Amino acid sequence: MKNRSLYIGIAIVAIALTIGFTAGRLSGDTTSTVPVTQTTQAPQQNPNSEIRSGGYKFINPLLECDNYQSSQLNSITKLSADIQQYISVVQQQQKVSLVSVYFRDLNNGPWLGINENENYSPASLLKVPVMIAVLKKAETEPEVLNKVIVFNGNPDLGVNPNIKDGGGLIKGKSYKVDDLLYRMIAYSDNDAMQLLLDLVSVNMFASVLADLGMDIANKSAADDFISVKDYSSFFRVLYNGTYLNRDMSEKALSILSKSTFTKGLYAGLPQGTLVAHKFGERAYEEQGIRQLHDCGIVYLANSPYLLCVMTRGKDFQELESVVAEISRIVYTDVSAATAQ
């Protein structure tokens, strides 16, 4: 097993990849009500942003192209207003101190953001790029998915998650890498994540983050350093099949659709709706602050969309209900617009 200090220092895995991480600092006044504003990054000389993979002499493959400016379509404007109105209510009721939302129509590209540049601790959301790193390795070494790894019982950074989605690994039992991928995502299993990080190497994981535009330099476990808009890029490149090949992108989203967490985005959708998503949670016990996030793709018939919601407050159940209601609002408005 890799040296634990290297593991933390290079890849900042102590950033709450473990979903119950309680140590650390939360910057800002987290007890005050934050005004709800729809924000977009200030337009620059070129309003488009691009992520390119690099690593070649003659080519520089385009992974993703985005526009800084949110859509002004009537349907998007209505959706934004509906979400902001709801957020204002729950903030006044002190159910949540801060909410950030990123929505994108995956067929046509219009998007909206509400507090979309606010930073949070990613927590277990970072298990998605861990999966991407493993599947990237599998593109050139397909046999790696059948590799068997024995779990020796080492604890997952000594932290217990607040939200538990399934049984953990059994000491002394062997697991295929394919099974570990499923457990890491579907059950948000921290031990499975550690075994997979050891498999691909911390450097490869950090490389995946860098490839997709995530700057982890000088970040610590106490930092809030990712926004809903930045994190959404992982799901966009999977949906578009632009970083992993098509088969591996399909596999990744299929695994994400098996998540057993049903109290966030999924709870706001009609029963049986297909959604590929990942949640993350973090607790700061001394400050009494909680963060809960849920991001994914909702496969509404003929109108799939990406929705990422990040929240900060005092009670996980309240935060779960806020995420679920925002999910319901989005599904209702998008369904109505699609039917027109």
Residues 244-266 have pLDDT tens digits of 999 999 999 999 999 999 999 99
Q: Tell me, what's the pLDDT at 310?
A: 98
Q: Taking residues 47-56, what's their average pLDDT?
A: 54
Question: CB within 8 A of 328, min separation 6: which ones?
Answer: 268, 269
Residues 102-138 have pLDDT tens digits of 999 998 888 999 999 999 999 899 999 999 999 999 9
Is residue 224 within 8 A of residue 26, CB to CB? The reply is: yes
Residue 141 is assigned to a structural domain of this protein: yes
The span from the CA of 293 to the CA of 323, in Å, is: 8
pLDDT band at 164 (very low <50, low <70, confident <90, very high): low
Model's pTM, two decimal places?
Answer: 0.81
Residue 145 is assigned to a structural domain of this protein: yes
> Residue 66 pLDDT > 90, yes or no?
no
Residue 31 is assigned to a structural domain of this protein: no
pLDDT band at 213 (very low <50, low <70, confident <90, very high): confident
Q: Tell me, what's the pLDDT at 5?
A: 32
> Residue 267 pLDDT > 50, yes or no?
yes
Identify the CATH number of the domain in which residue 114 sits: 3.40.710.10
Q: What is the mean pLDDT of the chain?
A: 80
Q: Taking residues 46-73, what's their average pLDDT?
A: 53
> Residue 325 pLDDT > 70, yes or no?
yes
Tell me how many domains the chain contains.
1
Residue 309 is assigned to a structural domain of this protein: yes
User: Could you give the maximum distance between any two Cα atoms of the chain, in Å?
Assistant: 57
Residue 90 is assigned to a structural domain of this protein: yes
Q: Taking residues 330-338, what's their average pLDDT?
A: 94
Is residue 327 within 8 A of residue 267, CB to CB? The reply is: yes
Can you give the residue range of the structural domain that contains 305?
64-339
- Tokens describing residue 49: 């942003």
Q: Tell me, what's the pLDDT at 205?
A: 86
Residue 28 is assigned to a structural domain of this protein: no
Q: Tell me, what's the pLDDT at 65?
A: 58
Q: How far is CA 315 from CA 41, 58, 114, 290, 312, in A?
A: 30, 52, 21, 6, 9
Residue 19 is assigned to a structural domain of this protein: no
Q: Tell me, what's the pLDDT at 293?
A: 98
pLDDT band at 223 (very low <50, low <70, confident <90, very high): confident
Residue 314 is assigned to a structural domain of this protein: yes
Q: Taking residues 45-72, what's their average pLDDT?
A: 52
- Tokens describing residue 293: 């996030």
- Tokens describing residue 248: 């591996």
Q: Tell me, what's the pLDDT at 115?
A: 96
Share of the chain above pLDDT 90, in %: 59
